[in-house]
Structure 1
Amino acid sequence: MQLTLNAKGQNASVMSYLLAKNPNNIYERKQKGHYVRLFYSRFSEEETEVTIFVTPDPIELTKNSSSTYDITHYINDREFAVSSIFCSFIRTALGTALNGQPADEYKKWVDEPFDFQVDFGPIASSLSDETLYKLFTPLGFDVLIEEGEANYQFELKKRSTARFVTLTGKTTLQRVLRQLFVLIPVIDDYKHYYIDEKEIEKLERYGEGWLDDHPLKEMILKQSLRFEEVYKLIDQPAKEKHKVEEPVKKRLNDMRYEKIIETIENLPKKETIVDLGSGEGKLSVRLGFIEGVKQILAAEPSQIATKKALERFEKAAKKESFLMPERIWSSLFYYDERLAGKDVMILCEVIEHIDYERLPKIMDTIFSEYKPESLIITTPNAEYNQVYELGDSFRHTDHRFELDRKQFQEWCAERSRDYPYSFTFEGVGEIHETLGAPTQLCLFTRKEERA
């Protein structure tokens, strides 16, 4: 993941002073198991080009340090794309330019515009090219978006889903960096770090002079301040002004879990349950209170999430009639004999986090190898996103796709076509007259095999 800044014009070499980085030296620092490096590829009075890039530390890959390199990093591209994580890595290196605080004799150049070309990528985003154009063109940039080449040894897809962005326009170094530090996390559709009062102040500071007039201001704020904790830190008028769908999603989570519990309680066989992709155990802990259940497998590839789940289970264990789920380290991408032959399997808000082309193999494994009596899948209804006014954005942080009701029903029918399963559909959450419910649920039921 990298960012390149090319400045042309008289006195372009002053960039080195604005960045407080000597063009004769390579800057290298270690940040949270990654290397941050900065170097100049061009340096003259008329043109200066500097690149900052981040790479994982290969030594860390050989260490048994799950807190640094969780397995989910290998099935999730966020650690390797230009994102909020990337911004957090490079913020210290670019701090002088971001804050406009070079040595006193060079402060007069902070407000000097240059002809800039800015290249960054790869990005992994749910936003369309059209939305990306709408984010940057109002700031005075010409925008070029290119997709990476996909050089697979077998026919999977011809184009990579990763994109590279080039911006050209006349601006100051501080201004373009501040715009990038606001908009890259918006493009990423995910902020990995906790948003507190300092984050709000940073948004206000970096957005000064351009954000208030941006036609997509509300969308930018929704993406930047998406967590509920933010609204406890700002006054009521601002809270109403920047209100987003998160409180609805939190209530929807409860409704989704309740519907899954209700569905399981009505099943004839429910003694053994597998919660696939159980995460931090929010659903699994509720499964532990279902009467008649004798085994719950909380299957999750992330050791960090599994640790948090254990804390949740241990807290619930103090209550009566709680069946402690068994935490198992397991991934959907590999066959695990421990998951075979169970009464119920659950994929709660999981499939949309997986690349679409990888799902058929996973479903084939479930139906042909694991053979559960019942399979429950929940996933967002893409049509309902209109209610949340999300535009081209997906519903949540790391979704690779979202299906409308017709697409989901056709997908379920196609996946189970060669296997002895019937299926039914239900909506979960407040139903819109034309758009349906926010969540859709499919219950697959294994048919009795005749002799």
Structure 2
Amino acid sequence: MQLTIKAEGEHVNVLSHLLAKNPYRLYERDVNGHLVRLFFSHFSTNFVEVTIFVTPDPIELSRNSARSFDITSYINDREFAVSSIFCTFLRSALGTALNGKPKDPYLPWVDHPFSFEFSFGPLASATSLSLLKRLFEPIGFSVSTHFAEQKAPLTIKEKSSAQMITLKGRTTLQTGIRQLFVLIPVLDDYKHYFIDEKEIDKMKRYGEGWLDDHPERAYIYEKALRFKAIYDHTQQKGDQPIKETVIRLNDRRYETIIQKVSDLEKKASVVDLGSGEGKLTVKLGYVKGIKELLAVEPSEMAMTRALRQFTKRTQESDFLQPTPIRSSLFYYDNRLQNKDVIILCEVIEHIEEYRLPKMMKMILTNYRPHTLFISTPNYEYNQLYNMGDGYRHSDHRFEWTRDQFQTWCKENNTGFYDLTFTGIGEEHEQFGHPTQLCHFQRKETD
């Protein structure tokens, strides 16, 4: 995947300073196992051509360490196509240009417009030329596309589904790069991670000076943030309250569970089952009344990261150091028996459905906690993220509607627990909450 920048006219050689790159050297960096190269194929006073090219490691993309890129399989075209993933590499290579902070003698050139041609791709997207024009023409670019011909001996179709996009217009380097940084994710049909405040801040920062007046502003917010409530709100009230409309779902989820645990009379012993990197466990460590806190996780990598978080708080007197346990959800572990609270926070959707009844039987029959909390995504709410039939994370084996989740909880209840269903996150009148929670409370007569 690549981005090529061409500029013509007087003094275009100053772009090397705005990019903070030596035109006579190859820039090469490793970003999470992926090789990022930047090189000048032509450099003179009147003409500059520079290309940012990424050679991904497809095996690295399939590992846990690359999950930030939201890819789990390297047998696809994603690692070769310009996408929202590509913006991560752009930010590492073009940080000086994005932020407009070259060395002091070149600061006046940050606001100087040049005649640019930006070519990027291949773009694996169903975006039409008509839509591309609606996105780029209002900000001063002409648009053209090119589909590569298939060269494979077994031709399934004449043209590739991936296209190259070329933009031409007069703008500053910083503005042009920022516009690409915002609009490439809009073109990417694959991006679907949940929006948080960092994403909103990025949109506001890189969209400053052009996005507010864009005729497709609502569509850009909808597609880039994948959160319909945000762009609806921007239409109603303008720019001011965007950040206020979104509370990070992870934080809301943790806060809700922490509050529910805090409200329990019996909470001396708590198990975070499937604790991952320990984000919830750390918060539980500050809850008064907990005297034993077990962080149970089968992944060695995740447990190692969790231990770093626990160790950072060793000297805090009000923090209860968790006990890390390497264990599986599917094999009996007597260390988890008869605890006050067991928590499964966003865990079950990562497990094949047919394996869940065995897990539930072990928890409710063998471990017999006084309280069990289970949270999982509400599939109905995905419609607000414009995800189609997709799941919120590529590692999810399923996502349930509210009826499906409640039916499953009731079917797997041993009869010794009362069930209470609640939602977490901003409620929608039709689709409910983004996260659903079941509270299993053991009956006193048990």
TM over 0.5: yes
Equivalent residue for 1:367, pick from 336, 344, 358 = 358
Partners of 1:425 and 1:144 lie apart in 2 by 55
1:436 to 1:443, Cα distance in 2 relative to 1, 3 A: same
**Pairwise CA distance, 1:276:** 1.0
Matched, 1:255 2:256: yes
Shift of 1:136: 7.5
Report the equivalent of 1:436. 432
**Matched residue SS, 1:279:** coil
Q: Which residue of 2 aligns with 1:36?
A: 36
Counterparts of 1:74 and 1:5, CA distance in 2: 25
Partner Cα distance (2:270, 2:111) in 1: 70
Q: What letter matches 1:50 in structure 2?
A: T
CA shift in 2, pair 1:330/1:6, >3 Å: farther
1:333-388 CA-partner distances (Å, limit 9, x unpaired)? xx887688645653313456x5xxxx318x728836993226643123243467xx
- Three-state SS of the structure 2 residue aligned to 1:246 is coil
Displacement of 1:119 in angstroms is: 0.8
Partner of 2:53: 52
The equivalent of 2:3 in structure 1 is 4
Change (3 A) 1:305 1:165: farther
Go from structure 1 to structure 2 and tell me whether the alpha carbon gap of 1:273 and 1:197 turns closer, same or farther (over 3 Å shift).
closer
* Preserved contact between residue 420 and residue 439 of structure 2 (Cα < 8 Å): yes
Shift in Å, 1:53: 2.0
- Identify unmatched segments of 5+ residues in structure 1: 62-68, 123-127, 147-162, 227-235, 447-451
Partner of residue 135 from structure 2, selected from 116, 134, 138: 138
Paired residue for 2:76? none
Structure 1 residue 281: Cα displacement: 3.9
Instruction: Give yes or no for the alignment of 1:82 onto 2:85.
Output: yes
Aligned residues: 377
Return closer, same or farther for 1:381/1:50 CA change in 2, 3 Å cut-off: same
1:24-173 paired onto structure 2 within 5 Å: 25-29=25-29, 35-39=35-39, 50-53=51-54, 72-78=64-70, 82-92=85-95, 110-114=113-117, 116-119=118-121, 137-140=134-137, 141=143, 166-172=164-170
Give the CA deviation at 1:112.
1.4
Deviation at 1:291, TM superposition (A): 6.6
| Structure 1 residue 325 corresponds to structure 2 residue 317 | no
Q: Which runs of 5+ in 2 are unaligned?
A: 72-78, 138-142, 149-160, 228-236
Amino acid at match of 1:85: T
Match of 2:157 in 1: none
Counterpart position of 1:150: none
Paired residue type of 1:318: D
Name the structure 2 match of 1:409: 405
| RMSD of aligned residue pairs (Cα, Å) | 6.3
State the AA in 2 paired with 1:244: T
Alignment of 1:308-319 (within 5 A): 308-311=309-312, 315=316, 318=318
- What letter corresponds to residue 4 of structure 2 in structure 1? L
State the alpha-carbon separation in 1 of the partners of residues 132 and 306 from structure 2.
34
TM-score normalised by the chain length of structure 1: 0.55
Q: What residue identity is the alignment partner of 1:409?
A: F
> Aligned pair in 2 of structure 1 residues 237, 291: CA closer, same or farther (>3 Å)?
same
Q: Distance in 2 between matches of 1:164 and 1:92?
A: 27
Distance 1:331 1:137, change over 3 A: farther
Q: How far apart in 2 are the matches of 1:7 and 1:444? A: 62
Cα deviation code 1:245-272 (max 9, x no counterpart): 2178755542244346668959xxx967
Structure 2 length-normalised TM = 0.56
Tell me, yes or no, if the aligned pair for 2:6 and 2:116 is still in contact at 8 Å.
Answer: no
